[in-house]
Amino acid sequence: MSAVTTDPDDAEVARRFAAGDEQALALAYERWAGQVHGMAVRAFGPGPDAEDVTQQTFVSAWTGRAGYSAAAGPLPAWLVGICRHKIADNWAKLERQRRSAEAVAADARSAAAPTGGDGLAGAVADRVLLLGELNRIGQPQRRIIELAFFEDLTHAQIAARTGIPLGTVKSHIRRTLERLRDRLEVDGAALRS
């Protein structure tokens, strides 16, 4: 039943996706839903939360397809980036629900003691904040720091993978870490206070 023509390559799928070809959404799902859902399952375990994240990722990618640019990286990397945000957003939502449930319980007990949950809530808020900041970092700096953070590559491996000189990789890592740290110090602290 498969067509005689060969399947389009990834770049062609990406081009047609950005152009609004519905078949390209189906092809992107065939190729990358497993990767996206794998991330969601690692974040939430198998079940409705993970399925929601996978669904939200593809729906957001489709509705926001005008924001995709092939120059900023391959389509699967873009999908993975969206999935990261959806995971962080859903963590934040679950954390808010947990805290309001605790607040209700605390009111019922008329207990004033803090629950010690602030550290976790702070970590979630910081993650959302830094993922947003990552989105504002241009290429190739963003690709470099993502390889370091999320693929756990050393600077030498990143240089080998990207073809960017070792010294450039190191200075990009330094500047990006400084930028993210400064963002945390300015806004991360404000969010928690």
Partner 1 sequence: MQHCAPEQLALAALAEQLPAGDAAHLASCPQCQAEVASLRRPVDVLAVPPLSGGGTEVAPPPRVWDAIAAATGVSAAPRAEALTGDPAEPAGAVVVPLQPRRPATRWLTVAAAVLVGGVLGGGAVALTRDDDGSVVATTALDPLAAENASGRAEVREVDGVRSLQIDLDAPELTDGYYEVWLLQPDAVRMVPVGVVRAGDTVLPLPSGLDLGEYPLVDVSVEPMDGDPTHSGISVARGELST
Least distance (Å) between residue 52 CB and partner 1? 9
Least distance (Å) between residue 25 CB and partner 1? 5
Query: By C-alpha distance, which of 64, 102, 57 is closest to 80?
Result: 57
**Contact pattern for partner 1 over residues 19 through 38, marking x by CB under 8 A:** ---xx-xxx-xx--xxx-xx
Least distance (Å) between residue 94 CB and partner 1? 11
Q: How far apart are CA 33 and CA 57, in angstroms?
A: 9
Q: By CB under 8 A, what part of segment 41-80 binds partner 1?
A: 41-43, 45-46, 51, 54-55, 58-59, 62-63, 76-77, 80
Verify binding: residue 178, partner 1, rule CB under 8 A: yes
Structural tokens at position 61: 């990618």
Packing angle between helix 155-162 and helix 141-150, nearest 10 degrees? 130
CB 11 within 8 A of CB 66: no
Q: By CB under 8 A, what part of segment 123-162 binds partner 1?
A: 123, 126-127, 130-131, 134, 148-152, 154-155
Q: How far apart are CA 48 and CA 84, in angstroms?
A: 17
CB 83 within 8 A of CB 19: no
Q: Which residues contact 47 (CB under 8 A, 6 or more apart)?
A: none
CB 89 within 8 A of CB 128: yes
Q: By CB under 8 A, what part of segment 107-126 binds partner 1?
A: 123, 126
Binding residues for partner 1, rule: CB under 8 A, are: 2, 22-23, 25-27, 29-30, 33-35, 37-39, 41-43, 45-46, 51, 54-55, 58-59, 62-63, 76-77, 80, 83-84, 87-88, 123, 126-127, 130-131, 134, 148-152, 154-155, 170-171, 173-174, 177-178, 180-181, 183-184
